Amino acid sequence: IQIKFVRFALNFVPHTKDSKLFITDTTFENVPVTIYQPKKINPGLRKGLLFLHGGCGTFGSKRLYSAICCYLSRESDSVVVFVDYRLGPEHQHPAQLSDALATTMCFMKHAKDYGVDPNHIILAGDSSGGTLVAMVSQELAKIGNQPKIRAQILIYPFLQRMDFMLPSHFQNQYGPFLTKNMVFHLGLKYLNKECVDIKKLERNAHVPEDMKQKFKKWISADLIPGEFKAQGYNPPMPAPFSKELYEITKLNDKTMQSPIISEDDIIKQLPETYILTCEHDILRDDGLLYKKRLEDIGVPVTWNHLKEGFHGFLTFINSGVFEFSFTRPAVGNIVSFIKGL
């Protein structure tokens, strides 16, 4: 996968404009952002939604996400902020998290300047953007940030890097759109690292046995409801532990890229959560496991599962013949959630 080619191709995606919105480019803490504000007069303060895009931390642009940002702002009557955070591998992890956290705190601090109620700010993101949303929400819980985030919206998120042998990793390993090979190659590019044996990595050779045992209460195929194993689930034996793979893939903070394994005292502070999962998505089970993790500790969760859905469908909204039949109802469900907060 050539990241430069993907970025080049995305430059040809039409940039969506909307006559009902003010669209402004500016910066929050030196990070480029685009602000979408409804033109119609609102006597009070609106909700604010900060959107973190997907692309495995290596690609993604405001062009690609302008349609969904316009739609969410217009239909939910909210101020939407799109964050153009730094990308890897040029900017190594955790640059993306640093930008996401900085822009979130800046938006919360100056919310009223944009006609936004600081008590009604929502974080939203798709794919690796959903990862960033989960991590930012947890970072804010750690520092006791006030006011608190009102809600988080996770759209087919990547939430753990401990177990690559969940049912969805086998059922959807060939896509559509996101394949198992893409997950590993893009993930390693994001970390600016190379891996010599993907076959061992996909059989969890990067995780020591004691770590597997410690976190299996939160990450395990046994926790996935039986209905999601109906297609068949007969995984091979895990590969023996490889210290080399462990060193290649480890992060200084084990919860980074695996927000599902954060401690209970952090998880229980998280805001009301919306999780969207897709049946035909290799990351489906990450969302299912996080849903259970949050519900078990008492965090309110709204879950929408698309039986026809697949990874990446969100960016096809307003794309004419390329928009799928389930796209607008799915986004409408998100809009309803935002309006109900």
Cβ proximity of 84 and 75 under 8 Å = no
Check if 258 is active-site. Answer: no
CA distance 162 to 246: 11
Catalytic residue among 73, 76, 78, 127: 127
Contacts of 67 (CB under 8 A, 6+ apart): 16, 315, 317, 318, 319
**Active-site residue list:** 127
